[in-house]
Structure 1
Amino acid sequence: MRLALLRADPALSRFDPLPRILSFDDFSRGHCGWSQLVGNYEGDLDTMLPGYAQHSSAMLSTLAHWDAGSHGGMSSSYALKIATRPRPGARNVAIKRHTFRHRGPIRFELYFTFKPEATDLKLSETDVRSIGFLFDLQGGDHDADDDRVMPHLRFLNALDGKHVQKWQYKRETTGFRPIGADNKTVSHDHLAPEGWLDLPDGEQRLCYNEIPTKVNWTYLCFDFDLASMKALALRCNDRTFDLSGFDSIRIPAMKNLWCMLNFGLFAETDVAKRAFLYVDSVCISGEF
């Protein structure tokens, strides 16, 4: 009965959710809780680390372009747009903040596409450096010995003008820096460009259409177990990847982040033009 109900719903039937849907984000209904990743600061915004100071708010977009008007989303007029600044290596991150009530498997599914800003009349297939996602997790206050765990995955599309097209992950973040003078806040740049590792057999050629304004939507699914704090599976379109060697960034638990269940989406540009990550819809589910 449950499967029949899911398949009868055009919005949900494109996903394969676990038994309980935590959130279903269809961006024709608004931002659905996705907001700017603001870096830690205290007393003055200038205390924010530079990596975070470059971030801006995610937008709702019709995927407008100059030659034919608008694409719209995959099944509506709008998608979530995460846009970088027009500077080589610039990035932007959108985040959705939850807490969890049960430590079990969770599933993160989305349909996405990416493009550089179409300022040139050529394909520009190496202008987007990467797109990716991350989780930011921490156990409950009775699990005080747990770490803060941050799985990161990105699709490295290009680097310094060279087409790469492979999945990567991170195990390390930058060192902690105190923010302000009250000894209450620290910060670290977990999306700094250093430290990315290749996922074994992680090469994949995604659909990237023939001119700089055409887009095709791509499916992504990531499974993670909150009980063991380990990744279970990664799927992108028709490919399933080996995560046996995968690990997450792990840092000591922080005193005010209990039961944290955050999700992030990001884009990076490789050239002096904006890179756009568009997300049509996101389904987050689990065995809660």
Structure 2
Amino acid sequence: MPSLSHAQARQPSDAALSRFDPLPRIICLDDFDRGFCGWTQLVGNYEDSLDAMLPGYAQHSSPMLSTLSHWDIGSHGGVDGDYALKIATGPRPGAQNVTIKRLTYRRAGPIRLEAYVTFKPEANALKLSETDVRSFGFLFDLQVGDTTPGERVMPHLRFLNASSGEHVQKWQFKRQSVPIVPIGTENKTISHYHLSPDGWEDLPGGAQRLCYNEIPTKVNWHYICFDFDLSSMQCTGFRCNDRVFDMSGFDSLRLPAMKNLWCMLNLAFFAETDSGKRAFVYIDSVCLSGDF
């Protein structure tokens, strides 16, 4: 008899959970038909003045709840409801935006991120515009507990859809350290813009053609699943739709542990545009689970 997935064994009649394959403990199950579910704007660090914020962070704005409205069809809606979480960039090439959920963890063990996402540029022209979104992706911002020597570890993955108007369609990761910038005068706050365009590396075997429908207002949802072990601070798996990728060449951005971020478990999604149009990334639902 075939074994049941954790989702099937726990909630066989719950469609919101059964579309995922979580580890035994559900840390959060966010369906944006219920609201923002704790997701918010990634605000840069500052002290005394908002002008102290690094420019990369200053461009960020709050995520929105969206019905995926379009001029030609009305509202698209989510996978099984009305709303998705919308990340929208500014209308200039290279503009980015990020949404984040801030947690801490109770034990350093395996965790799994699963989500249903889609991406589109702003549909303000009667053409496909398939190369107007530069990238979308996700990251964790993690740190060990206060009794454990270790690091702040930031696994990043992005789907590079296009670059300078050319279709690319491949997954990339970032492990290159970025400059740490002191903020203010009290030696309490620092900052670093880790989503800068430099330092991205191709994931070996990471080329993938994602579904992008025939007109600029149609969307199809994509499934992503990312496994990570908090005890070893190593990625243990990644898949998108039907593709399972070899992550043996993957590594994370690593920094010295910081004095006030113990047991941090932050999760973020981001969008980036390649054109003078806004790029939109929509998240229908997110499941973060663990084996602890």
TM-score of the superposition, structure 1-length normalised? 0.98
- The answer to whether the aligner puts 1:65 opposite 2:70 as a matched pair is yes
Does 2:127 align with 1:122? yes
**1: CA distance, partners of 2:162 / 2:249:** 23
Task: Find out whether 1:14 has 2:19 as its counterpart.
Answer: yes
Which of 275, 282, 285 is matched with 1:281 structurally? 285
Hey, what's the Cα distance between the residues in 2 that align with 1:105 and 1:196? 25
**1:206 aligns to what?**
210
Residues 184-231 of structure 1, C-alpha deviations (whole Å, 9 max, x = no match): 111111110000000001000000000000000000000000000000
Name the counterpart of 1:30. 35
**Unaligned regions of 5+ residues in structure 1, if any?**
none
Please give the alpha-carbon distance, in whole angstroms, between the structure 2 residues aligned to 1:160 and 1:12.
39
- Displacement of 1:182 in angstroms is 1.2
Q: Residues of 2 paired with 1:154 and 1:6: CA distance?
A: 31
Shift of 1:6: 2.5
Query: Per the alignment, in what secondary structure is the counterpart of residue 8 of structure 1?
Result: coil
Question: What are the superposed Cα offsets for residues 77-96 of structure 1, whole Å, 9 maximum, x if unpaired?
Answer: 00000000101000000000
- What residue ranges of structure 2 are gaps of 5+ in the alignment? none
Deviation at 1:4, TM superposition (A): 3.7
Q: Aligned residue for 2:105?
A: 100
Aligned length: 287
1:87 correspondence with 2:53: no
The DSSP-based 3-state class of the residue aligned with 2:231 is: coil
Tell me what 2:116 maps to. 111
1:163 alignment counterpart:
167
2:45 paired residue number: 40
What's the CA shift for 1:173? 3.4
**CA RMSD for the aligned pairs?**
0.9
Which residue number in structure 1 is paired with residue 272 of structure 2? 268
Give percent identity, aligned residues only. Answer: 71
Query: In the alignment, does 2:262 pair up with 1:258?
Result: yes
1:218 and 2:222 are equivalent in the alignment = yes
Does structure 1 residue 180 correspond to structure 2 residue 184? Answer: yes
AA aligned to 1:140 is: G
Query: SS at the partner of 1:123?
Result: coil
Please point out which of 132, 147, 153 is paired with 1:149.
Answer: 153
Whole-Å Cα distance in 1 between the matches of residues 33 and 14 of structure 2? Answer: 16
> What residue identity is the alignment partner of 1:106?
I
Q: Please give the alpha-carbon distance, in whole angstroms, between the structure 1 residues aligned to 2:118 and 2:80.
A: 13
Q: Which residue of 2 aligns with 1:238?
A: 242
